[in-house]
């Protein structure tokens, strides 16, 4: 039955038709050029009443390193989702080199974009296969060169080296090791646009240092780098910082020196919140729609915690009931054994005798 259920789910996924066709449009050979968001408005299909962006407008020159910062829930990761066309904006346009990405062939566009996410995606296979995933025809020398540039020195500690299996989703590797393999994959691909989505936020200090060194090499190339980050170390090495406001628009834009010295600026407030140990902006600084989403999220978490506690209580009660039933069953079996007499050799059958109270057998 499990196989039937899994097969039905597989067929269901195969029959689904994507809302954004992957093979329609003009194929592109390069995604180098100015990236511009022009009056972009967007809300997720599951929450159409909550606007993430409202007439968002900014541009990123080619070959530059740009950091996008803002409060949690402000739409930083949504920018990368729109650029990769996981969604289309509800209004406005996104252009690369003055060409609307809606007119581009989706597969060819994504081939020119590299992504290093907070939780890197690794596939069950060898380290070499994962590094060369974006460039299947890469030579062994190119794979080794990319691994060295990404600080993947740990590979030499494995007996099988590059042929070491990483396990399902990279389960055999640590977080820092998986991240550096993802960076090596991006280095080998040499994309025109590189998106770093919180690439070091889940790492310890030592792993973060090694990954940052690898990211530094990655960003010294000719790619346009878009860093979505909270950490100060990532933000400081950017050429330009774009600060998203709570109203779905750009609140500030400039260099780290300019924004960090601006009194009363949004960026300076964000840095103060970060240094105080909070990743989220205060509730009062959010828009009404964002406050409603925050409250709904908190209520959902409370409800999930309540259901989890109820489930744990039910499991404990079920375990106690099973223990009680086991004890009663054992007691009954002992009584049954005491009431059964040995077989009578004269009758050739089984003689059942129940002793009366006080009677000697």
The CA distances from residue 56 to 137, 263, 265, in Å, are 40, 24, 19
Q: Which residues lie closer than 8 Å to 186 by C-beta, 6 or more apart?
A: 114, 115, 116, 134, 194, 218
The CA distances from residue 279 to 52, 175, 251, in Å, are 18, 21, 18
Tell me the per-residue pLDDT of 234-248, one tens digit each, with 9 for 90 and over: 787 788 899 888 888
Question: Helix (H) and strand (E) counts for the chain?
Answer: 11, 10
Residue with tokens 């259901």: 307
pLDDT at 289 over 80: no
Instruction: Express the helix, strand and coil content of the chain in percent, nearest 5 each.
Output: 45, 15, 40
Angle between helices 140-149 and 175-189 (to 10 degrees): 120
| CATH T-level assignment (fold) for domain 115-190 | Rossmann fold (3.40.50)
Tell me the per-residue pLDDT of 152-199, one tens digit each, with 9 for 90 and over: 888 888 888 888 888 887 888 887 788 888 888 888 888 889 888 876
Other C-beta atoms lying within 10 Å of the C-beta of residue 77: 16
Say what the pLDDT of residue 96 is: 92
Q: How far is residue 185's CA from residue 142's CA, in Å, rounded to a whole number?
A: 11
What is the chain's mean pLDDT, rounded? 77
Q: What percent of the chain has pLDDT over 70?
A: 71
Say what the pLDDT of residue 13 is: 75
Exposed/middle/buried for residue 195 (C-beta within 10 Å: 0-12, 13-18, 19+): buried
Which band of pLDDT confidence, cut at 50, 70 and 90, is reported for residue 36?
Answer: very high
Say what the pLDDT of residue 346 is: 45
Strands (E), 217-331: 224-228, 240-244, 250-254
Say what the pLDDT of residue 284 is: 44
Say what the pLDDT of residue 335 is: 57
Q: What percent of the chain has pLDDT over 90?
A: 10
Say what the pLDDT of residue 75 is: 84
| Domain regions of the chain by residue span | 115-190
160 vs 328 pLDDT, higher one: 160
Exposed/middle/buried for residue 206 (C-beta within 10 Å: 0-12, 13-18, 19+): exposed
Q: Which of 173, 175, 166, 169 is nearest to 200 (CA)?
A: 175
Say what the pLDDT of residue 347 is: 44
Cα angle value 279/282/283 (rounded, 5°):
125
Which band of pLDDT confidence, cut at 50, 70 and 90, is reported for residue 28?
Answer: confident
Could you tell me if 239 and 224 are in contact, meaning their C-beta atoms sit under 8 angstroms apart? Answer: no
Could you tell me if 182 and 221 are in contact, meaning their C-beta atoms sit under 8 angstroms apart? Answer: no
Strands (E), 70-183: 91-96, 99-100, 113-117
Which band of pLDDT confidence, cut at 50, 70 and 90, is reported for residue 9?
Answer: confident
Q: Which of 264, 265, 267, 285 is nearest to 275 (CA)?
A: 267
Q: Which residues lie closer than 8 Å to 82 by C-beta, 6 or more apart?
A: 37, 40, 42, 88, 89, 94
- Collapsed DSSP state (helix, strand, coil) of residue 99: strand
Could you tell me if 61 and 193 are in contact, meaning their C-beta atoms sit under 8 angstroms apart? Answer: no
Could you tell me if 56 and 39 are in contact, meaning their C-beta atoms sit under 8 angstroms apart? Answer: yes
Tell me the per-residue pLDDT of 74-132, one tens digit each, with 9 for 90 and over: 788 899 899 999 999 999 999 999 999 999 999 899 888 888 887 788 888 888 888 88
Q: Which of 76, 164, 178 is nearest to 119 (CA)?
A: 178
Q: Which residues are bridge partners to 37 per DSSP? A: 58, 94
- 50-54, 146-150, 173-177, 347-351: which has the minimum mean pLDDT? 347-351
H or E element in which residue 14 lies: helix 2-15
């Amino acid at each position: 039955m499990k196989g039937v259920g899994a097969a039905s789910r597989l067929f269901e996924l195969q029959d689904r038709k994507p809302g954004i066709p992957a093979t329609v449009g003009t194929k592109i050979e390069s995604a180098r050029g100015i990236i511009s968001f022009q009056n972009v408005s967007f809300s997720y299909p599951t929450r159409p009443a909550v606007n993430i962006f409202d007439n968002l407008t900014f541009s990123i020159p080619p070959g530059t390193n740009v950091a996008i910062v803002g409060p949690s829930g402000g739409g930083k990761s949504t920018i990368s989702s729109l650029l990769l066309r996981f969604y289309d904006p509800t209004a406005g346009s996104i252009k690369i080199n003055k060409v609307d990405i809606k007119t581009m062939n989706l597969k060819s566009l994504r081939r020119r974009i590299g992504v290093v996410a907070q939780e890197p995606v690794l596939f069950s296979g060898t380290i070499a296969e994962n590094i060369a995933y974006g460039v299947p025809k890469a030579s062994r020398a190119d794979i080794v060169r990319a691994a060295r540039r990404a600080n993947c020195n740990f590979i030499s500690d494995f007996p099988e080296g590059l042929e070491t299996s990483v396990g399902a989703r990279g389960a055999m590797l640590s977080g820092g090791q998986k991240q550096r393999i993802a960076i090596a994959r991006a280095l080998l691909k040499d994309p025109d646009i590189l998106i770093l989505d919180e690439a070091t936020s889940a790492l310890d200090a030592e792993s973060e240092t090694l990954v940052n060194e690898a990211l530094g090499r990655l960003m010294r190339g000719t790619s346009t780098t878009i860093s979505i980050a909270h950490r100060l170390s990532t933000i400081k090495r950017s050429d330009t910082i774009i600060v998203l406001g709570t109203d779905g628009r750009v609140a500030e834009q400039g260099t780290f020196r300019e924004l960090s010295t601006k009194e009363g600026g949004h960026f300076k407030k964000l840095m103060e919140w970060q240094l105080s140990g909070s990743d989220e902006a205060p509730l009062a600084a959010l828009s009404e729609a964002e406050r409603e989403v925050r409250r709904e999220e908190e209520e959902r978490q409370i409800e999930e915690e309540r259901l989890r506690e109820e489930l744990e209580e039910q499991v404990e009660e079920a375990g106690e009931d099973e223990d009680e039933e086991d004890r009663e069953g054992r007691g009954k079996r002992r009584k049954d054994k005491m009431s059964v007499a040995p077989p009578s050799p004269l009758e050739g059958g089984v003689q059942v005798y129940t002793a009366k109270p006080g009677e000697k057998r």
